[in-house]
Chains A and B, each alone.
Chain A
Amino acid sequence: MRLLSVYLLPCLFALLGMASASLADSSAPELQVRIGYLAYTPPSGPLLSNVIPEPEDAGRRGAELAIVDSNSTGRFLKHAYSLEVVERDDGASLVAAAEALHAQGVRLFVVNAPAATLKQLSARLGDSLLFNAGSADDSLRQSQCLGNVLHSLPSRAMLADALAQFLAVRKWTRWLLISGATADDQAYAAALRRAAKRFGLQIVAQKAWSFDNDQRRSAQAEMPLFTQTAEYDVVLVADERGDFGEYLPYQTWYPRPVAGTQGLTPTGWHKSVETFGAAQLQKRFEAHAQRWMNDRDFAAWIAVRSIASAVTRLRQADAAAIRQLALSDQLPLDGFKGRKLSYRPWNGQLRQPIPLVQPRALVSTSPQEGFLHPNSELDSLGYDAPEVSCQMTAAP
């Protein structure tokens, strides 16, 4: 019912439209800021748990809302933001379309694509500034930094650290780690192993889900036997696609919670985030997209907001100048997460608190109390400066 009432607020945007019409000076804007939104989301393949589909416009809707939000400031400053949306079914044609935009003069991009495509875009759009709102890949933040890319989506390492801190606080120190077969699942599992080591937690057993077991039984029926190992406090699951992980909760051999990609999940954004003004962002998004805002939407939203915050400060939209300001500590960003957000100068990752959620509630937010850091507790999540082996020196 509450959602319904939210959907009945299309007046918000009608009013914003009217506002821009009535308030903007009749003269043309002095600064046009064109932002390219580049999306390629590979299909995930057949899934066991395919009942609830993921939104296909995740990311784009967040970028669109941020354009509306940014034009609210822009109309007073005579800055006009616009989004050029390019969505393709394969990486190569996305790169080609991005180059066409680049030829038209676009130098600011939000990218929702896998790491390999992002790397190609970074190389082809050399003098541009790209915001990675689609890949959680750790190597992009640790060993293969791209000088012209900032990351607004949290890395897998940040997510895993956020979860591990909470499990450490709860003293759930013995983990059973179950991972799927894809490269993404392996990467998520690797991030969990790193987090376990960092925070002194113990992986008592690791199992790979290949589902080459008895095909006459359902996954649900298989899980109790599959999770019969040395005793654990919690089951950690690495199944990014949502293939089998949904069947783990309540089916474990020991009566223990499930966390990771299913169960208690670390994420950049979720419907249950409501404090620090987040409720207003959620309402605006739901009125705009007719659905809940997810982590991709938030990453694309904060990417565009990062650009707009920098443009408001600089009064110009030069990609190199925006990059320089974003990597200094002089651009506090409002992400409705209770603290100002900023980009780490050593790898371009957006520092941010990570909500830990279950499907209908916020369980906790990391960093957890007591995990200290000499500069910012937010840097207890993900790769810290001394752990990074690449240089961010290359300017766009």
Chain B
Amino acid sequence: MRIALLALGIGLTLASTASKAATAYVSNEKDDSISVINLDSLEITDTLAVGMRPRGLLLSSDHKLLYICASDSDRVQVMDLASRKIVKELPSGADPEQFALHPNDRWLYISNEDDALATVVDTQTDEVLAQIDVGVEPEGMAVSPDGKWAVNTSETTNMLHWIDTSTQQLVDNTLVDQRPRFVEFDPDGTRLWASAEIGGTVTVIDVASRQVLKTLSFQIKGVHPDKVQPVGVRLSADGKLAFVALGPANHVAVLDAKTYEILDYLLVGRRVWHMAFTPDQKRLLTTNGVSGDVSVIDVDSLKVSKSIKVGRYPWGVVVTP
């Protein structure tokens, strides 16, 4: 997510010098595994066994470590990507689903879905730094690029919870539409994008004032509005495009991130969850939970160029250079 974008600068320089293919890691919620995709050949090169019900994934800023929310194992696992072995398990609180890493590369903010808590863990000392009471069914989590804010969504309370990272205290709440699932900061940290699955909307919020700038809704010809259920959101590193995964509508919406104009709807696999850019920003990968595959979107032409079969119920995806 943000980390991937933040690391993009490094990623691009690495990619230009290294000949190694970029690699995607996809968590398979109902297979307890991670599928590894070679992004040159677009083929599965490995399937790694991990903890139970793996969902959220993220990378350390140096791309050496993969953090995995193993929801039903009640832990966050840390995989060394060189050896592809689990090297550590962090105390995450119960049922971790989504998380975000602070730019200091140490503080991991974790949603504990069953406990109405956000847990902050120091990834170096494995200490729990704080547990913060949030709304019921916390889900989405993002840390602002400047590291000042951690924002958590709660699916039943229907709010964004603003956590001041200097004090680890909840300081503000923003009401959004029903079942907010995911939050994503702009690359420059001025705006926050929050999807609401049942509300069918994406709310864009001004970070400085924490006021709503715009509420976006989506209409796809031939798809019933009830099936438009926004989940994952990704913004291109140049700040020009926004992509919104629309769940069981089986489409990804493409928007002009500045004017909010909807440019296109791209048909992908069934129940599209989350997305990740390749390091060169030329392709966007989507996980499609029900069809069990990953769609590859060509970002320049806005065409879906390929689908890759992975495990059962793919959920999260990250890409390393």
Identify the A interface with B (CB < 8 A).
Answer: 9, 11-12, 15-16, 18-19, 22-23, 68-69, 72-73, 76-77, 277, 280, 283-284, 309, 312, 332-334, 338-340, 376-378
Contacts and interface: CB of A to CB of B under 8 A. Distances in A.
Given A23-B170, A73-B159, A11 B115 contact: yes
A186 B159 CA distance: 46
B154 A72 contact: yes
Contacts of B137: 277, 280
Contacts of A73: 135, 156-159, 175
Interface string B161-176: 0000000001001010
Given A73-B157, A332-B199, A340-B226, A15 B173 contact: no
Interface string B106-132: 000000011111000000000000000
B114 A9 contact: yes
Given A73-B158, A377-B224, A334 B178 contact: yes
A283 B113 CA distance: 11
A15 B198 contact: no
Contacts of B154: 72
Contact of B115 (A12, A72, A332, A334): A12
Given A72-B154, A280-B155, 13 more contacts: A69-B136, A72-B136, A72-B156, A72-B157, A76-B157, A76-B173, A283-B114, A332-B177, A333-B178, A340-B178, A340-B198, A340-B200, A378-B226
Contacts of B158: 73, 312
Contacts of B226: 339-340, 376, 378
7 contacts: A72-B157, A76-B159, A77-B175, A280-B113, A280-B155, A333-B178, A334-B178
Contact of B175 (A22, A312, A332): A312
A341 to B, nearest CB: 9
B303 interface: no
A19 B178 contact: no
A305 to B, nearest CB: 9
Contacts of B159: 73, 76
- Indicate the member of A338, A340, A378 with the most B CB atoms within 10 Å: A340
Contact of B116 (A15, A277, A333, A377): A15
B292 interface: no
B133 A332 contact: no
Contacts of A332: 177-178, 198-200
Contacts of B198: 332-334, 340
Nearest to A342: B226
Closest 10 CB pairs of A and B: A19-B133, A334-B198, A339-B226, A72-B136, A72-B157, A76-B173, A73-B157, A334-B178, A340-B198, A72-B135
A76 B170 CA distance: 11
Contacts of A312: 158, 175
A68 B156 CA distance: 11
Contacts of B199: 332, 340
Nearest to A16: B116
B117 A15 contact: yes
Given A9-B114, A72-B156, A340-B178, A22 B133 contact: yes
Contacts of A280: 113-114, 137, 155-156
A317 B198 CA distance: 22
B248 interface: yes
Interface in B165-202: 170, 173, 175, 177-179, 198-200
A13 to B, nearest CB: 9
A282 to B, nearest CB: 11
B163 to A, nearest CB: 12
B233 to A, nearest CB: 18
B227 interface: yes
A79 to B, nearest CB: 11
Nearest to B173: A76
Nearest to A331: B178
A68 B137 CA distance: 12
A373 to B, nearest CB: 9
A22 B154 CA distance: 18
Nearest to B172: A76
Given A23-B170, A332-B198, A69 B114 contact: no
A338 B198 CA distance: 9
A347 to B, nearest CB: 19
